[in-house]
Every structure is written in structure tokens, then in C-alpha cells.
Amino acid sequence: MSRIHKLDPVVIDQIAAGEVVERPASVVKELVENALDAGATLIEVSLLEGGIRRIEVRDNGCGMAADELPLAVTSHATSKLSAPSDLEAIASLGFRGEALASIASVARMTIVSRPEDASFGMEYQVLYGRPGSLHEASASKGTRFVVEDLFAELPARRKFLKRPATEAAHAQAWVERLALVHEGVGFRLEQDGKRCFEVLPEDDLGQRCAAVFGAGLAKNMVQIQAQADSITCTGHVGPPESARRDARRVHLFLNGRWVRDARLLRAVREGVKEFVPIGHYPTLYLSLQVPPQRVDVNVHPQKTEVRFRDERLVFGTVVRALRQGLAAAPWATRMVGTVGSTVQDRGSFPAPSWQRPQDLSAGLSSPSSREGFFPVPAPHLPMEVAAEDRGKGEFLSVANTFLFRAVAGGVEIIDQHALHERVNLEELRRELRQGQVVTQPLLVPALVDLSREELDLLLQHQDKFRKLGVDIEAFGETTLAIRGIPARLQRLQPEKLVLDLLEIAQSHRQATPDQIQEEMLFSMACRGAVMAGDAVDAEALESLLRRGADLPQDRTCAHGRPVRVFLSLEDLERAFYRR
């Protein structure tokens, strides 16, 4: 072993670069963020071979003076922080002063910059950490960075780069993220000479969503918003069918910074729980504004992890924004015209109040200037039943699972279990709001053998169960007696219910009483529902459809799977090649 010595500054930067510069996309991110911090309103990015060969970022921001250029690429040099107290409330995207030094230590970097008041620009070069010359160059106001041959002198790092197409996709993802959240700034991205992404400075959030998610999806996204204290949460969320198993379509921003925070993602899942299938993530643009002093972004060199001072408040606001927005979305509406016609023609039930798509859009409109940008309804929203359809109330039950029914403009297919589960859930909630779930005493109590520990745990929740309409008590040392179950859940098997509740109690020891109660409601709603494949007589199905028509939301079951699917005539025509 050799003697201890101080590391060479270039090596120090290269080590630091390991944390900041992982791949071309990280360079793009850092350079674009710098341009944003410099007040640019137009940022152009051009890449060759996914950025492995060359990355160019041009901006029309404030520029740098000649004497600032060599300093900018020195580590721990920044114009964004001066006093230690500045760290308490960071308002810029950068602040660590190490991105340029890191990039310059692992590539060939050229900077051309001209501040507004300078009559000419200056060019400065750094080659793998070795400073080059500084000389005059013609330039328009702003800054241009060229970064070439990333990691060419560091084979160990270069071999971790993927194919150019993969690197290109990562880089594009960063440009899109930053373009989404920075309204007022135009972005252009070129890959190997081809324009592949563009938003104009004047493009609003809707147009930015269209550029990132595609126009078709963007127009079906709905706005979300919630506020608590000085925290605001705004955004757009896509319909359930745009959900994915991975979180790639989830874009979370904190004060204009794209973040990836596991706990924040959990809040998102909580907020969309009933609208998106379990294990899926929605298409989401969500922007949080939190006073800078209430959040710490200085947790990780890439600054995508954050710590909130009032975590509960922030997460609660996110959950609320999503729940409220989704509940008002066209896909969460009552079953427009599904059963009412049958019912009305037989004269036995009051006609449901029709809700037209236009009415729905009224409920959705936002107070902002973006009003009307996202037209509703979603394409698969059943239309109002027209007069000539009123007599066609019959449905066809297929495989004792799906109910088919002609409605105006197409065919509606309902999943009997999903609908029943949703009906149960909403009705149980209504009873709870009125006091407690109505209990039906069992003629003969059901007995369940348990361990002493399991019995104890269940008895701890005895009061909660009673509120939920489940009456239990101890029957000896290791036996539980179930004396009553919720009256409206006729199909429930008491023993199964109790074992479910036991499992919830066991797996939610850290959860709040409200969360446990919600989980139990879900489980009861599911257990008390007809299953797929259960033969159910027509009258019972009709009654179920009728109950469904009164729900505040019936688009998805408690687990987020769809209750009903609508096939438009257009869909059918396409399937038969008539279009």
C-alpha cells in the first residue's frame, strides 16, 4: 500500500460524477435544469446516438460573463447559494454546484455564453477535467453547452451505457418531464437530426400533456386539485384504462422538480385505489407546491428524493386531490340509462334522474383559464338512452358473469360481481354515515376455532366490528361466536368473513383505525357479492342493476377493476371491418 495523499481534483470530480452523471440523460437533465434556473424561455436539445456521441443544449437565459466560465465548471461553485441559511429554503433547481464540474470531468465540454449586456460571447473548453482555452466567439444571448464522447476516457463507466435508442429514450423522458412542469418555457428535442418533441412557450398544461401523453389520452384526463395550509396539489389524471403496472406514466413534481419518492407513490396508489386496478399506476401529472422551507431536497445528489417536514399533510392532500378529481370524472358516473328504461316501462320503480354527458362536464369544469381544454365525456361513457331505446331494457347474461345490454350508441357489458361489490360498498358506507351498518342476528351463532392470540386480536376490534354490522363474542378460550352479520349481505359466509377480518387485523397493525375500517368494508363488500359464474335469477339481477343506477360512482369495483365496459357502434363496426 502506498502512503496517504490528497486526491487529484480531477479524480475527486470524477468520483462525484459517479453520483450525478450516470448516462447521457443525466447530462441532459442537469443542463436543462441549469437553463431553467438561468431564466430561459426557449431550450433546445440535440443529441447524436442517444447523447453518447454528442449532447447540445442551447438556451436564451441570462448567460455567463467571461470570468464566470472557468468558475462554473469548478466543483462547489454556484451562483444559487451563498449563506448556509440558503440551504433551508431552496428555490432553484440547482444549488450543489457540482453538475458542470462532474460532467466536464468525464467528457469533452464546450461552453459558449453571452450575457445580455455583453457585445460578444465567450467560448471555453474543458477536456476530461483539463481546462482548455477561453476566447471570444460569436453568440446570441444565452448559453450553449456541447458535451461530447461521454465516458470515452473511462471505459469502466462507458461499458454500462445501453444501446443509443435506449439512451435516447431516457434523455427524451427527462426533456418531457421538465417540459410538463415548466409552463412558459418552450422545449425542442432533436435526435440524430430529427425533431422528436416540441412544446411552445405559450403552450398550456393541456397542450403539454398532449405532447407527452398523446392527444387522445390527454383529452380524457381530468383535473385534480386540493389545498391544505400552504400546500397545493394540482394535476391531471388519466382514465382507468390508461393505468400501467409500472409507474413510468406517473409524473410527480415538487416545486417544479421531478421527484421519485416511494412514499409519495404510495399516496398516489392510495388516492386512486378504487379507480385503478390493484397493482397498477395511473397516468398522472401531479404538481405539488410546498413552501421551500418545509421540504428538504438535499437528500441525494440527483435530487429526486425528498423529505417533507409535514409528511402526513402532504400525502393527505395528494390522496384527497386524486379521490375528489376521480369521483367527479366522467368515468365515475352513475350508470346512465342502463336499467332505468326497463324499470320505467314496467312502471314499478321511479325513473332515475338522467345525467347527460353535458351535465357531467359542467361538474368538471375548472375555475382556471384552462377551462374547457379537456373536453368530456370519455369516449366510452354510455350516452343518454334515447326515446326509441326505452323499451329495450332486456339484458343477456353470459356465462353467469357478464350482463350484455343494448344502450344508445352501442352495447354495455357489466361484470356482475364487480357491480355487486360496488353496490355493497356504497350502501355499507351510507349506513355507516348514518350511524352503523344494520345487523342481522343469526338464528344459530356461527362458531370459529382460533388460536388464543387470534381470538384476542379479534376481540380488540369488537367495537369496530359491531359498527360494521358484525356481532362477535368469545365462546370459551379459543372459540369465537359470530352472532350477527350485516343485514344486506345475505350471501356472506360468517366464518369466511371473520377469517378475512382477522387477516386484515393482522396485516394492518400499523394502520390507523380508519384505514382498517376501510379495508374491512372492502372485504365485506367483496365477500357479500355474487361471484363470477354464480347463477342469479333475472329478478335479482334487475334489482342489482337498479341499485347500481343510484350510486355516486359505479365505474369501478372496490378494487379498481371496471364494473362496466361500453362498446360503441364504432367499435363494433371496426370489429366487423365496416370502417
Which residues form the interface with ligand ADP (CB under 6 A)?
Answer: 30, 34-35, 37-38, 59, 61-64, 72, 77-80, 94-101, 143
Least Å distance between CB 338 and Mg ion? 55
CB neighbour list of residue 281: distance below 8 Å, 6 or more residues apart = 243, 244, 245, 246, 247, 249, 250, 265, 268, 269, 272
Least Å distance between CB 267 and ligand ADP? 28
Residue 369, sorted as left (phi over 0), alpha (psi -120 to 50) or beta, turns out to be alpha
Which of 61, 94, 121, 337 is the binder for Mg ion (CB under 5 A)?
Answer: 94
Question: Whose CA is closest to 389, among 438, 447, 338, 428?
Answer: 338
For residue 72, the partner it binds in Mg ion, ligand ADP, none, with Cβ less than 5 to 8 A by kind, is: ligand ADP
For residue 323, the partner it binds in ligand ADP, Mg ion, none, with Cβ less than 5 to 8 A by kind, is: none
Rounded to an integer, what distance in angstroms lies between the CA atom of residue 518 and that of residue 119? 66
Q: Looking at beta carbons only, is 12 or 411 nearer to ligand ADP?
A: 12
Q: Looking at beta carbons only, is 179 or 319 nearer to Mg ion?
A: 179
Start-end of H helices in 452-579:
452-460, 462-467, 494-507, 513-527, 538-549, 569-575
Q: Looking at beta carbons only, is 107 or 485 nearer to Mg ion?
A: 107
For residue 63, the partner it binds in ligand ADP, Mg ion, none, with Cβ less than 5 to 8 A by kind, is: ligand ADP
Question: Whose CA is closest to 128, among 146, 144, 156, 152?
Answer: 152
Q: Looking at beta carbons only, is 105 or 424 nearer to ligand ADP?
A: 105
The residue with its CB nearest to ligand ADP is: 94
Least Å distance between CB 38 and ligand ADP? 3
For residue 59, the partner it binds in ligand ADP, Mg ion, none, with Cβ less than 5 to 8 A by kind, is: ligand ADP
CB neighbour list of residue 60: distance below 8 Å, 6 or more residues apart = 40, 41, 42, 140, 141, 142
Question: Whose CA is closest to 243, among 217, 267, 263?
Answer: 217
How far does the chain reach from its first CA to its final CA, in angstroms? 77
Least Å distance between CB 108 and ligand ADP? 17
For residue 51, the partner it binds in Mg ion, ligand ADP, none, with Cβ less than 5 to 8 A by kind, is: none
Say which DSSP state 281 is in. B
Least Å distance between CB 257 and ligand ADP? 12
Least Å distance between CB 14 and ligand ADP? 15
Q: Looking at beta carbons only, is 94 or 337 nearer to ligand ADP?
A: 94
Q: Using DSSP, state whether 459 is helix, strand or coil.
A: helix
The residue with its CB nearest to Mg ion is: 94
Which of 17, 25, 32, 34 is the binder for Mg ion (CB under 5 A)?
Answer: 34
CB 132 within 8 A of CB 124: yes
Rounded to an integer, what distance in angstroms lies between the CA atom of residue 278 and that of residue 270? 10
**What does the block give as the cell for 297?**
431536497
Q: Residues 355-364, buried b or exposed e (16+ Cβ, 10 A)? A: bebeebeeeb
Q: Looking at beta carbons only, is 184 or 435 nearer to ligand ADP?
A: 184
CB neighbour list of residue 16: distance below 8 Å, 6 or more residues apart = 75, 98, 101, 102, 105, 301
Residue 347, sorted as left (phi over 0), alpha (psi -120 to 50) or beta, turns out to be left
Question: Judged by CB under 5 A, which stretch of 93-101, 152-160, 264-272, 555-563 contacts Mg ion?
Answer: 93-101
For residue 78, the partner it binds in Mg ion, ligand ADP, none, with Cβ less than 5 to 8 A by kind, is: ligand ADP
For residue 79, the partner it binds in Mg ion, ligand ADP, none, with Cβ less than 5 to 8 A by kind, is: ligand ADP
Q: Looking at beta carbons only, is 13 or 415 nearer to ligand ADP?
A: 13
Q: Looking at beta carbons only, is 77 or 265 nearer to Mg ion?
A: 77
> Phi and psi dihedrals of 11, rounded to 5?
-65, -40
DSSP of 351-419, one letter per residue? PP----HHHHHHHH--SSTTTTSS----TTSPPPPPGGGTT---EEEETTTEEEEEETTEEEEEEHHHH
Least Å distance between CB 17 and Mg ion? 13
For residue 317, the partner it binds in Mg ion, ligand ADP, none, with Cβ less than 5 to 8 A by kind, is: none
Q: Looking at beta carbons only, is 34 or 105 nearer to Mg ion?
A: 34
Q: Looking at beta carbons only, is 179 or 264 nearer to ligand ADP?
A: 179
Residue 421: CB atoms within 10 A of its CB come to: 26
Binders of Mg ion in range 40-79 (CB under 5 A): none
Q: Looking at beta carbons only, is 99 or 497 nearer to ligand ADP?
A: 99
Rounded to an integer, what distance in angstroms lies between the CA atom of residue 183 and that of residue 326? 24
Q: Looking at beta carbons only, is 79 or 361 nearer to ligand ADP?
A: 79
Question: Judged by CB under 5 A, which stretch of 58-66, 94-102, 107-115, 470-478 contacts Mg ion?
Answer: 94-102
For residue 35, the partner it binds in ligand ADP, Mg ion, none, with Cβ less than 5 to 8 A by kind, is: ligand ADP
CB 466 within 8 A of CB 458: no
**What does the block give as the cell for 230?**
400552504
Angle (CA) 481-482-483 rounded to 5° is: 105
Residue 342's H or E segment, with its range, is helix 340-346
Q: Does 99 bind Mg ion (CB under 5 A)?
A: yes
Q: Does 32 bind Mg ion (CB under 5 A)?
A: no
Least Å distance between CB 559 and ligand ADP? 44
For residue 186, the partner it binds in Mg ion, ligand ADP, none, with Cβ less than 5 to 8 A by kind, is: none
Least Å distance between CB 68 and ligand ADP? 7
Q: Which residues bind Mg ion (CB under 5 A)?
A: 34, 94, 99
